[in-house]
Amino acid sequence: MELNVRLFALYRERAGRNTISVALGDGATVADLTDEVRRQLPELAPPEVKIVVAVNTDYADYDVVLQPGDDVCLIPPVSGG
């Protein structure tokens, strides 16, 4: 399946674009997605940073199985005070 993944804030800046297309096999999980994103864009986030993923407007655990047509967003960590 092909998923269009939307990038926000710092991730959008580092990638130089708003979206990326990710090809995954049937039954792929959010963990599979983040692995593929890191392969395509190694500069997106250091390995020790957990990429936060939202699927269909809800934060998703890494074991969530993705479906064709899912709305997927990558959200960088937020700091502040």
Instruction: Classify domain 2-75 by CATH number.
Output: 3.10.20.30
**Alpha carbon 21 to chain centroid, angstroms:** 10
Task: Name the maximum alpha-carbon separation found in the chain.
Answer: 41
Q: Residue 79's pLDDT is what?
A: 56
**Measured distance CA(58)–CA(36) in Å, rounded:** 21
pLDDT in tens, 34-51: 999 999 999 999 989 999
Tens-place pLDDT, residues 8-17: 999 999 999 9
Which pLDDT band holds residue 78 (cuts at 50, 70, 90)?
Answer: confident
Its pTM stands at 0.92
CA distance 56 to 45: 22
pLDDT of residue 40: 96
Radius of gyration, CA atoms only, the chain: 12
